[in-house]
Amino acid sequence: MQCIYQTRVMNSGKMVAVLLVERMIILFKDNAPEELADYCILHNENQLSDIIQEQDVLVIGDTEYKIRYVGEEVQRNLENLGHITLRFDGSTEGLGGSIYLEDKAVPQIHIGDRIAIYRK
């Protein structure tokens, strides 16, 4: 498998649990604006080596999720800001800054967890 993207969780905002109930996770590099940081999973790496595509696989910790849809702003936002929204509802279309993943349970995120995207 080819690794397309990887990062490591450095911090979790105090409002992240609210978004988990909504089946979404917001990723932002550790320079997130203060007014957004409480809602984000913050990371300090941002290693992106290729264009993220449908059918790639996102891995959080030990759990894999097939990517169902990649919004048109994902690549640019991830490259420039380390910022995207992960949505776990199986949608095959949606908002530009989001990656939509297969409809599976939303993982608990822990500091130190690795988040990666692979192409099989």
The yes-or-no answer on residue 43 being catalytic is yes
Two tokens at 93? 């279309």
Catalytic residue among 43, 68, 83, 87: 43
Phi, psi of 75 (to 5 degrees): -60, -50
How many other C-beta atoms can be found within 10 angstroms of the C-beta atom of residue 85? 21
Q: Per-residue confidence of the chain (120 residues) as pLDDT tens digits?
A: 899 999 999 999 999 999 999 999 999 998 899 889 999 999 998 889 999 999 999 999 889 999 999 999 999 999 999 999 999 999 999 999 999 999 999 998 999 999 999 998
Tell me the sheet residues that pair with 99: 70, 86
Rounded to whole angstroms, the Cα distance separating 46 from 15 reads 23
CATH 2.40.33.40, applies to 2-119 = yes
